[in-house]
Structure 1
Amino acid sequence: MASYICFSFRYSSRKTLLDKRIAYKSLALFGKSEKKVIIIFIVLGYILTFLIPNSMARLSMLLPISQGVIDSIKSKNKENFRKALILTITFVPYITTVAIITGASGSIYAAGLFEATLDYQWGYLYWLLLISPITIFTLIILWFSLNYWFPLNNAEKMNTVLFHTKLNNMGKVKKTEKKLIAIYLVLILGWVTNEWHTISISMVSLVAMIILFLPGIEIIKWEEARKEGRLGSSNTFCSWISYRISF
């Protein structure tokens, strides 16, 4: 069931283009130099961990954006920037996976294993406070390593026309994006406060996933989700059984 929840939010972000809007908006506002672009991709990789609980999905989202940035560069003396950017979007989604307990289905399973074997329940906020500093420190090391091995030119300004063009093509923020943002906010609030309301992280995630399909909200439809994710009835049934046993 955890994989279905991860897929539902990953597919919602991709369908509404919310993830790409956040990326292009950040690049348009702050991507003025090579170093700033790399920093933005590192920060995006971390932020998207809260929205897309799958490292491969985050990489798949960041890859075409970074490829667009690389293709827009005509100068031949940007080899270091190209290498640094590709390495950034390759490593960051996997480094940030453990930053939050919901960063990947594996983290959720690991937390469940801790609870089953050691009778200790990880809280979302405690995991975040404990693991995030380690993750951020690792990202800082990555940043300095990239600068050491692939020195970047911070004096020459980047052309941000591509980012503004992509934003204009996407148009204004749609209602489905606003709905998804609201669901994400409620979801993260539910995760952070789970130690107070005693509703498990898995159950909060499940309720948020169901909201995605509700009439009137219907950010994604069950039929398209089933087709896209190959969520067969037998797999769904078995997952529900295993999920129920876990409670």
Structure 2
Amino acid sequence: MVREAGRNALPGALRRARSAGHRVARRALDAADGPGPDPRILSARQHDRRSSPPLHPAPPQDASGLAGVTGAAARWRWLAVLLPGIALWLLPLPGLTAPQRHLLAVFVATIVALVAHPVPMGVSALSAMTLLALTGTLPPARVLSGFSNLTVWLVFSAFLFARAVTVTRVGQRIAYLFIRRFGRSPLSLGYSLAAADVALAPFVPSDTARGGGIMYPITRSVAEASGSSPGPTAGRLGAFLMLVSFHATYTASGMFLTGMAANPLIAEFARKIVGVELTWVRWLAGAIVPGFLTLALVPLLIRRLVPPTLADTAPARTHAREALAELGPMKPVERRLAVVMLAVMAGWVSSPWHGIPNTFVALAGVAALLLAGVITWDDLLAERRAWDALIWFAPLLMMADALQETGVIGVLSGSLFAGLHGLPWIAALPALLVAYLYLHYGFASMTAHVTALYPGFLAAALAAGAPPLLAAFGLAYYSNLDASLTHYGTGSAPVFFGAGYVSQGTWWRVGFLVSLLDLLIWLAGGMLWWKLLGWW
């Protein structure tokens, strides 16, 4: 009877889930790590992409550049950006020359703007870049040098891979295949969603796009098809699945160099500061054991903290079968995408042997997608997240490089982390990792967190004597794991939280306890694994 009831309720549940899921996602995605995914990402797109409607226009914005922020709120945001920048520009700082201080002032104001968001990220970065050139703080050629950085184009290419995964609906197919095959209990449903996220993470470099745009609508549809909606029935299944899917998203992001937009930025920082290459293969090798331990244990912890009351998940599997039937058999365009993606991954894995930089392997993949008709030139032009990342990422990378080259990072690290002097690195590095993790309570963007804190913390770890590779990767992985803490700390968080299945108190309590488990896994288990890899 339960199985039959689930089948009878499925069409209505699907409609409700899609409608509610799309409303929440569209409201929340633009509030976090850069612009959210194209609205077409949030719906089941027609198989013929060329007949799709144009992109939805952006919501009206006030003079502050932020939708819904007016009057006093906008003024406070601007004050938060301008005051520290002006103070650093005008006031002398021990150990820094005037040009160094001016560069630091523009950088700090830009980071605050990424957090306060008085204007879009691209506007902040473009304004900072222009100011550095107009004031003579940096030469014009140096100001534009970020656009020639290979890391910037790797991120750009990765967003186009995400576009291909979205428009062909391969992401949905992968998720529903896992659910149909393995979703025999609430826990196995959670593992199925996590496995699908890991399968997509190498090619979708935004947890906002992957978690909020692909996994969230599927998670909500499965919950509602099982009779779990926000409100009295949230505890049946939906609250558990929302938490598991969210925590799997940022964990998967941390396992791959191309899993999150700021990961290549981290790799570039490590190359500049430490002189080590955080390659795609090395990144995955360091994350694979603690990453899969996290994916295995976190759902068990969440089940204990927010136990689902539903035992029979037959409606969820029925929903997956119906969704796969709607998608139909695998189409030629999906097969071409699979071939290109496997070739790109093979190119990344074999990079140490053939010597082709990861960026050009990725660009070759983009060219192949265009030539094979998987995406069109119009698709490329319409992928606003790729172009947005290109505009804000290049200036940030340029400023971070300039801070390192001019010695600003070294001066600041020596002053801020003087209390660590005298500690052995085996004690100093865990202290830095814990501080780095919990400082994310003050950030609404993982990119802003990385840009503001990673170089200084890495320099402090090196000054304490920590092995370079261990310090670089430890901070890199925690740059993703810190998303566990709040409902605003990364782009996908407000989407899953905004569904209404989990209260803010529960979200924060679960997030904090998950962070403790992450510390145990990645500090204890991770350190042992990294010892075997020869990182220390």
TM-score, normalised on structure 1?
A: 0.86
Does 2:344 align with 1:187?
A: yes
Report the counterpart of residue 260 of structure 2 in structure 1: 104
Distance 2:279 2:172 in 1: 30
Out of 185, 195, 203, the position equivalent to 1:51 is 203
Work out the CA distance in 1 between the residues paired with 2:236 and 2:299.
Answer: 13
- Residues 42-83 of structure 1: CA deviation (Å, up to 9, x unaligned): 111222112322211111200111111111123776615211
Deviation at 1:117, TM superposition (A): 2.3
Determine if contact 1:35/1:154 at 8 Å carries over to the other structure: no
Hey, what does 2:174 align to over in structure 1? 22
> Could you tell me which of 335, 353, 359 is aligned with 1:178?
335
Equivalent-residue separation in structure 1 for 2:386 and 2:227 (angstroms): 44
Aligned to 2:475: none
* Other-structure match for 1:120: 276
Once the two structures are TM-superposed, the CA of residue 158 in structure 1 deviates from its matched residue by 2.3
- Partner residue, 1:226: 381
**Other-structure match for 1:32:** 184
Q: Which of 351, 360, 363 does residue 206 from structure 1 map onto?
A: 363
Matches of 1:196 and 1:43, distance apart in 2? 29
1:223–1:230 Cα change, 3 Å: farther
Q: 2:190·2:245 contact (CA, 8 Å) conserved in 1?
A: no
Partner SS for 1:119:
coil
Counterpart CA distance in 2 for 1:218 and 1:168 is 24
Partner of 1:88: 244
What SS does the corresponding residue of 1:42 show, helix, strand or coil?
helix
1:219 is paired with a residue whose SS is coil
The corresponding residue for 2:235 is 79
What is the identity percentage for the equivalent residue pairs of Structure 1 and Structure 2? 21
Contact 2:226/2:313 (CA < 8 Å) preserved in 1? no
Residue 41 (structure 1) aligned with residue 198 (structure 2): no
**Deviation string for 1:127-156 (max 9, x for gaps)?**
211122222222233112112112246853
Query: C-alpha root-mean-square deviation of aligned residues, in Å?
Result: 2.5
Q: Which moved more, 1:117-126 or 1:18-27?
A: 117-126
Measured in 1, the distance between the counterparts of 2:336 and 2:310 equals 38
* Structure having the higher Rg: 2
1:139–1:208 distance in 2 versus 1, CA, 3 Å = same
Q: How many residues align?
A: 237
SS at 2:184 equivalent: coil
Amino acid at match of 1:70: A
Deviates more, 1:137-146 or 1:169-178: 137-146
Unaligned runs of 5+ in 2: 1-152, 402-536
Match of 2:286 in 1: 130
Alpha-carbon distance in structure 1 between the residues aligned to 2:385 and 2:191: 36
CA contact (8 A) 1:124 1:191 kept: yes
**1:191-220 CA-partner distances (Å, limit 9, x unpaired):** 111111111111211111121111xx1211
> What residue is the counterpart of 1:4 in the other structure?
156
CA distance 1:196–1:162, change in 2 (3 Å)? same
The answer to whether the Cα contact below 8 Å between 1:34 and 1:153 also exists between their aligned partners in 2 is no
Mapped to 2, the partners of 1:63 and 1:92 lie a distance apart of: 12
User: How has the CA–CA distance of structure 1 residues 231 and 69 changed in structure 2, closer, same or farther, with 3 Å as cutoff?
Assistant: closer
* Contact map agreement 2:176 2:323 (CA 8 A) in 1: yes
Residues of 1 paired with 2:384 and 2:175: CA distance?
24
Mean Cα deviation higher: 181-190 or 159-168: 159-168
Contact (CA 8 Å) 1:23, 1:44: kept in 2 or not? yes
CA contact (8 A) 2:155 2:258 kept: no
CA distance in 1, matches of 2:189, 2:171: 17
Q: Deviations over 1:98-119 (max 9, x none)?
A: 2011212311121122122222
Q: Which of 20-29 and 171-180 deviates more?
A: 20-29
3-state DSSP of counterpart to 2:262: helix
Query: 1:78/1:192 Cα in 2 relative to 1: closer, same or farther (>3 Å)?
Result: same
- Identify if the C-alpha distance between structure 1 residues 168 and 104 changes in structure 2 by more than 3 Å, giving closer, same or farther: same
Q: CA deviation at 1:30?
A: 1.6
| TM-score of the two chains, using structure 2 as the length reference | 0.41
Higher mean C-alpha deviation, range 70-79 or range 16-25: 70-79
| Residue in structure 2 matched with residue 164 of structure 1 by the alignment | 321
Structure 1 unaligned regions, length at least 5? none
CA distance in 1, matches of 2:252, 2:177: 21
Is the contact made by 1:35 and 1:153 (CA closer than 8 Å) also made in structure 2? no
Q: Distance in 1 between matches of 2:237 and 2:313?
A: 13
Give SS of 2:314's match. Answer: coil
Q: Distance in 2 between matches of 1:3 and 1:50?
A: 12
> 2: distance between equivalents of 1:58 and 1:74?
25
Report the alpha carbon displacement of residue 14 of structure 1 after superposing the two structures with TM.
0.7
Quick one: which amino acid aligns to residue 226 of structure 2? Answer: I
SS at match of 1:151: coil
Preserved CA contact (<8 Å) 1:81 1:150: no
